Amino acid sequence: MSNISDLFSLICLIISIIESMIGLLGNVTILAVSSASCIRSKILSSYDMIMIFLSLSRLFLQSWMMLDFFLSLFCEASYYEENLFVTFKTVFVFLNYSSLWFAAWLSVFYCIKVASFTQSFFIWLKQRLSSFMPWMLITSSLFSFVTSLPFSWDIYNVHNNFTTPLTMRNTSERRGTMKTSLLLLILLCNAGIALPLIMFVVSSILLIKSLWRHTRQMQNNATGFRDPSQEAHIGAIKSVFSFLILYITNFIALVLILSDAFLPFSIGEAICIAVMAACPAGHSMVLIWSNPKFREMPARILQHINCHVRTRSM
């Protein structure tokens, strides 16, 4: 049974590395296109700003996860030394929190810019979004940093309590300490990511509701021909719904990992890691697929490669 578990964990790890590499390519594309757009226009728009923050945080996150995979596999003795382990897990928490916050702000941006609500507060937000967004992104980064710091104080002790056997002496006291430390970490985890989760879910639902209502109106006024605008709205609904599913799935996997719900190298932990590698990569791919500006760069690269291959084969 142990061999099957080890094999399954190894397969999940390989899948996670492949997913992380796909995510790296996707986020490099988003970062390059957004940066080039800012350089050409000489204006840093709110959308480009969010995409740069989001793609950078995910580039660092997925690179950090890949480094974490390799060290935990090939340098296990050094990896679980207190200072190195604490550093890796604290940075991991910070990058995850930042990524979740920036994805939430992207959802809020879509909702405010696209949704057609007539409430005065919504109109007020739409008019001031460009001035608020830089401060919101910076504040989110600082909040992520502050809420990730306490993990550096307790996470190593919690890990040791879970991975080393308890002796008969002071067993109940040590178990109580373990539960207290773990409960503190779970509360900190929820405090760090509950707010962006609420923001993401609420803004996504409002946007889907607005797009669906507008789509129904267009269907009622349709003349029988396929309306490109209607198809665009349906595509937008599918994209936002995909974002919502990926975000919630990533959130659940992160909570399970940070709360030490599974033993190290167990099947449950391996699945959570694979999910956490897949969701940011999937979100990046949907962003590229749903935005012609992002699709253009990979298309040009593929066209250039095809031309180069044909030239060499002639």
**208 — pLDDT class (breaks 50, 70, 90):** confident
Which of 3-12, 212-221, 249-258, 292-301: highest mean pLDDT? 249-258
Give the N- to C-terminal CA distance of the chain in Å, as an integer.
55
- Helical spans, DSSP H, in 164-262: 171-220, 228-258
Of 69-78, 177-186, 209-218, 287-296, the range with the lowest mean pLDDT is: 177-186
State yes or no: pLDDT of 54 exceeds 90: yes
pLDDT at 166: 36
Which of 74-83, 129-138, 218-227, 285-294: highest mean pLDDT? 129-138
The better pLDDT of the pair 269, 302 is held by: 269
Could you tell me the two tokens for 212? 């669906």
The better pLDDT of the pair 36, 184 is held by: 36
Nearest partner of 156 among 164, 145, 146, judged by Cα = 164
The better pLDDT of the pair 160, 13 is held by: 13
Domains of the chain in sequence order: 2-219+227-301 (1.20.1070.10)
- In contact, 181 and 161? CB cutoff 8 Å: yes
- Tell me what the pLDDT averaged over the chain comes to: 79
pLDDT at 179: 47
CA 119, CA 113: separation in Å to the nearest integer? 14
The better pLDDT of the pair 105, 185 is held by: 105
**Amino acid (1-letter code) at residue 310:** R
pLDDT at 176: 43
Q: Output the 3-class SS for 41-80.
A: HCCCCHHHHHHHHHHHHHHHHHHHHHHHHHHHHHCHHHHC
pLDDT digits (tens, 9 = 90+) for 75-118: 777 777 767 778 888 898 899 999 999 999 999 998 888 877 77
pTM of the model: 0.82
CA 20, CA 280: separation in Å to the nearest integer? 8
Average pLDDT, integer, range 258-271: 78
State yes or no: pLDDT of 258 exceeds 50: yes
pLDDT digits (tens, 9 = 90+) for 148-169: 887 777 554 544 443 343 343 4
The better pLDDT of the pair 153, 214 is held by: 214
Give the CA-trace dihedral at 9, 11, 12, 15, to 10 degrees. Answer: 160
pLDDT at 115: 79
pLDDT digits (tens, 9 = 90+) for 16-36: 889 999 999 999 999 999 998
